[in-house]
Structure 1
Amino acid sequence: MTTQDIVQKLWNLCDILRDDGINYSDYVTELVLLLFIKMEHENKESGLLQAHKLPDYAQWPEFTSRSGLNLLNHYKSSLLRLSQSTDPLIAAIYAEAQTSLKEPRHLEQLIKSLDSIDWFSAKQDGLGDLYEGLLEKNASETKSGAGQYFTPRPLIDSIVHLLQPQPGETIQDPAAGTAGFLIAADAYIRSKTDDYYDLTEKQRNFQRNKAYLGMELVSGTRRLALMNCLLHGMEGDDEGVVHLGNTLGSAGSGLPKSNVVLSNPPFGNAKGGGGPTRDDLTFATNNKQLAFLQHIVRHLKDGGRAAVVLPDNVLFESVVGTDIRRDLMDKCRLHTILRLPTGIFYAQGVKTNVLFFQKISQAATGSTQEIWVYDMRANAPKYGKRTPLTRGNFADFEACFGTDPLGQTTRIDQGISGRFRRFSRDWIASEKGDSLDIAWIKDEDTEDEADLPEPAVLAREAMDELNTAVVELEAILAELGQDEE
């Protein structure tokens, strides 16, 4: 069986389990809880592990030898005990873990299906590839809502290819999701070092345990990320590669500075929990992407490089948005903006970009002298299930970007009829008022009503802009001492 065959076999089970009220996201989480136990068993059987990490009660034969209510009750009990494990990584994977299964026969079906898989074939292609295939299936199923934290793999691979992470560098994703960026960076380095065999033992240990660090706010998503990393041979520190915490709170301020930052921060303004509560950011804002952008600049080492996926509002938002963009262009050399096509994320109307920049220093000014913009959006195909996004779609952009990860190779301005153009810092200031929402190609489909965002998306965008305006007005009133009135 190929990895794709196994993914499809496991995915088909979800249709059966929906009789038990299981949705797609719950199903993937349920698989994670069992897959870790099965993985430990397979690794022990094949001799890859000298001893089990899991206690006796949670080893695979304890589940295959039971049935009915005895099995379901043992499973529930095991999850609770594993969540209280003294091993920090096991405790993290099973933190707050509860089964959604109510029917014992459904649990039996899951266990039998995992037991019947040709794990030798799975290992040939990589257990990590199998798991990522399940995550991608979950993200593409719009009803699951999982697409909000799943960045398309072709986009991730293109970004990593351009930034060229190196052995010995620290790589951070402050909005890790399922850890796609960190895993792709590790895969890139492995491909350049003969799967680490070209490195010394000390260098290999650094790559496995210290090179990568992510932070994720949602414990369930972090569980998916930890499993993803483990299946790709990335162990991290005692808490794993991805730590649980709020990057926009005190946990984020404690993250170290890194050589490379790769991230796709969550879209939208903060509502309720998860909003910025840090006091070390230069500009106060409830716009999560603008707050994440400030974190990334602050937590890049001098000379470090970053690529960040951000929605259009970050490019044109006024007042504090303008201040944050100016601050970015002072402290960093913002050298490239990629205008992405619509429809590649779960919310079809969301328009996004990738900002590529190099940190000069926290005290620098005037670091950005010119910005190159590549428009992949105008007159582009409508990507989706019928027209999937592929790595090949980024070939022309990669050629224009060049072979230098800092964007310092010779580049050619293609003029008004091309997709790649250069804009001076002076022109951006005088003509755009420091807005970075720069477009010049007439999109022939812009007036096609069928291509407009859904009304709910338009309403959500309008609400976000209004909420931002209210916060900014309240801040102005507070400064004037009129907040009580």
Structure 2
Amino acid sequence: MITGELRNKVDKIWEIFWTGGITNPLEVIEQFTYLLFIKGLDDNETQKESDAIFLGLPFEGIFPQDKQHLRWSKFKNEEPTVMYDIMANEVFPFIKNLHGDGESAYSKYMGDAIFKIPTALMLAKIVDGIDKLEIDNKNDNKGDLYEYLLSKVATAGTNGQFRTPRHIIDMIVSIMKPTPQDTIVDPAAGSAGFLVSSQQYLRNNHADLFLVQSLKEHFNNDMFYGFDMDRTMLRIGAMNMMLHGVDNPNIEYKDSLSEVNTDSEKYSLVLANPPFKGSLDYEAVSADLLKVTKTKKTELLFLALFLRILKKGGRCASIVPDGVLFGSTKGHKDIRKEIVENNKLEAIISMPSGVFKPYAGVSTAIIIFTKTGNGGTDKVWFYDMKADGYSLDDKRNPVEENDIPDIIERFDNLDKEVDRKRTEQSFFVDKSEIVENGYDLSINKYKEIEYEEVVYDAPEVILGRVKVLEDEIIKGISELEEMLRG
């Protein structure tokens, strides 16, 4: 989550867009993102130049010698009219053609990008505002900044999509621990938050992968896949990944649930927060998904999709609405049975309903499973998350209570969880009990609550206290009357 100071600076820039005539929130985000991207290119170039000088290595950047004036650090000091001319006629065409082959995700979604800031003075104000933002490239508060920008889009989208908070994404990635050999997909990628977090996790924990040529090529070209039907989000996602040093992420326009998506047993790790509340026509859905669960509900169809696109042994962590865990329709029961009986369901992490505020108050959980095709569910680990480090109201201010470190620690050491009681925050439930309960996966079905017996004083004791209080009140009234008469 971004700090109050950074939020105020972003709000001021947003106001400049608004008063300048750009009032569509997604257009603001798009133009804002282009400028953040242009600044980020220069920041990255400067860092790489410094590293090359320090190591005594030759350096060839993305800005040729005759294009140095296109760098943010150069043109930001120009007069507004000069800056505008450089931006509109040189910088913007330059970034649109960074990957000139037309095949990269970046090229595909920048092709129809349009520079819409109407005046030189407005551009100068926005550039000055962005230049004063304290964006930490190492800790990626760019992701939190995107999150805040996206929160300004009034409500969840028409298909029920909404943006996943960065700290929840990072928790899921830390739990799943991507490896350098993984092929990672998010079939409802949005701004590519899960993919960005995954690449950062790999950089932090497997830096040696860049020393092995085959792993480095896999990282840059074949590791990350993201699909979405919102071209603005695809543009933001492509820029996001490129800024984070992934040369050629496979970010594509695709309706993941349709017949167009023919992926099968292709990926080793699914990380997703698919759209909730969506309802599709059967004709629009891939037939093999309907065989698993005959339903129009997108949240169930996406689970069927995950099972299809994962390789044997592939893992999945997906956010689902609570209804998926206990819904009583045949579609709900069929998909839960498929995961429990024919694959290995590992964990259900229940999250509080305030996690997705301010855009939604829906209660959600994280479902974690491994595709086996032949069962393997033995015990399922449940965790009742009560706090995520932020207040659970619309303000989402930082608070001390935070279960996330505990969740990661306990998931890493599940062997120590075996003897935990149902009255505790996490515990195991045997598969047989889940089957007996109609494959109900809601934690409340299995959680036990300890009630403390409250012992009250005898009625005559309570009555005695009331009499004492009454005597004190009458005495006080008498003293007041004396004072008034005196």
Q: Would you call these one fold, judging by a TM-score over 0.5? A: yes
Task: Please give the residue correspondences for 1:84-483 in structure 2 after superposition, counting only pairs within 5 Å.
Answer: 86-89=101-104, 90-114=106-130, 116=131, 125-126=136-137, 129-141=140-152, 143=154, 148-194=161-207, 196=209, 199-236=211-248, 240-254=249-263, 257-270=266-279, 276-281=284-289, 282=291, 283-317=293-327, 318-346=329-357, 347-361=359-373, 364=374, 366-377=375-386, 383-384=392-393, 385-388=395-398, 392-403=402-413, 409-430=415-436, 432-439=437-444, 440=447
- Structure 1 stretch 134-143 or stretch 243-252: which is displaced more? 134-143
1:15 paired residue number: 15
Is residue 315–residue 371 contact of structure 2 (8 Å, CA) maintained in 1? yes
1:458 paired residue number: none
Is residue 369–residue 425 contact of structure 1 (8 Å, CA) maintained in 2? yes
Is residue 349–residue 382 contact of structure 2 (8 Å, CA) maintained in 1? yes
Distance 1:208 1:436, change over 3 A: same
- How far 1:13 sits from its partner (Å)? 1.1
Distance 1:112 1:291, change over 3 A: same
- Structure 1 stretch 85-94 or stretch 381-390: which is displaced more? 381-390
Gaps (5+ residues) in structure 1?
445-485
Q: Which has the larger radius of gyration?
A: 2
Is residue 174–residue 215 contact of structure 1 (8 Å, CA) maintained in 2? yes
3-state DSSP of counterpart to 2:366:
strand
- Structure 1 stretch 434-443 or stretch 373-382: which is displaced more? 373-382
Q: Deviation per CA, 1:323-372, whole angstroms, max 9, x where unpaired?
A: 111111123110210111111114443010001111112xx2x4323222
CA distance, structure 2, for counterparts of residue 304 and residue 201 of structure 1: 24
- How far 1:221 sits from its partner (Å)? 0.6
Distance 1:391 1:289, change over 3 A: farther
- How far 1:73 sits from its partner (Å)? 10
Distance 1:230 1:193, change over 3 A: same
Distance 1:51 1:234, change over 3 A: closer
- How far 1:43 sits from its partner (Å)? 5.3
3-state DSSP of counterpart to 2:354:
coil
1:28 paired residue number: 29
Letter in 2 for 1:436: L
Is residue 391–residue 399 contact of structure 2 (8 Å, CA) maintained in 1? no
Letter in 2 for 1:136: E
CA distance, structure 2, for counterparts of residue 69 and residue 154 of structure 1: 37
CA distance, structure 2, for counterparts of residue 43 and residue 265 of structure 1: 32
CA distance, structure 2, for counterparts of residue 52 and residue 112 of structure 1: 22
- How far 1:96 sits from its partner (Å)? 3.2
CA distance, structure 2, for counterparts of residue 391 and residue 172 of structure 1: 32
Q: Deviation per CA, 1:132-156, whole angstroms, max 9, x where unpaired?
A: 1321222444637589442122222
Letter in 2 for 1:343: G
- Structure 1 stretch 260-269 or stretch 250-259: which is displaced more? 250-259
Distance 1:168 1:389, change over 3 A: farther
3-state DSSP of counterpart to 1:143:
coil
CA distance, structure 1, for counterparts of residue 422 and residue 45 of structure 2: 61
Is residue 379–residue 428 contact of structure 2 (8 Å, CA) maintained in 1? yes
Q: Deviation per CA, 1:232-253, whole angstroms, max 9, x where unpaired?
A: 11123xxx33222111123432
Q: Deviation per CA, 1:293-319, whole angstroms, max 9, x where unpaired?
A: 011111111112111110011112211
TM-score (norm 1): 0.74
Letter in 2 for 1:395: P
CA distance, structure 1, for counterparts of residue 79 and residue 141 of structure 2: 26
3-state DSSP of counterpart to 1:259:
strand
Is residue 402–residue 411 contact of structure 1 (8 Å, CA) maintained in 2? no
Q: Deviation per CA, 1:222-275, whole angstroms, max 9, x where unpaired?
A: 111111111111123xxx332221111234323662121111111112358x99
Q: Deviation per CA, 1:281-302, whole angstroms, max 9, x where unpaired?
A: 2233211111110111111111
TM-score (norm 2): 0.74
CA distance, structure 2, for counterparts of residue 71 and residue 278 of structure 1: 49
Letter in 2 for 1:426: S
CA distance, structure 2, for counterparts of residue 311 and residue 388 of structure 1: 24
Gaps (5+ residues) in structure 2?
50-58, 452-486
Pairwise CA RMSD of aligned residues? 4.1
Distance 1:127 1:194, change over 3 A: closer
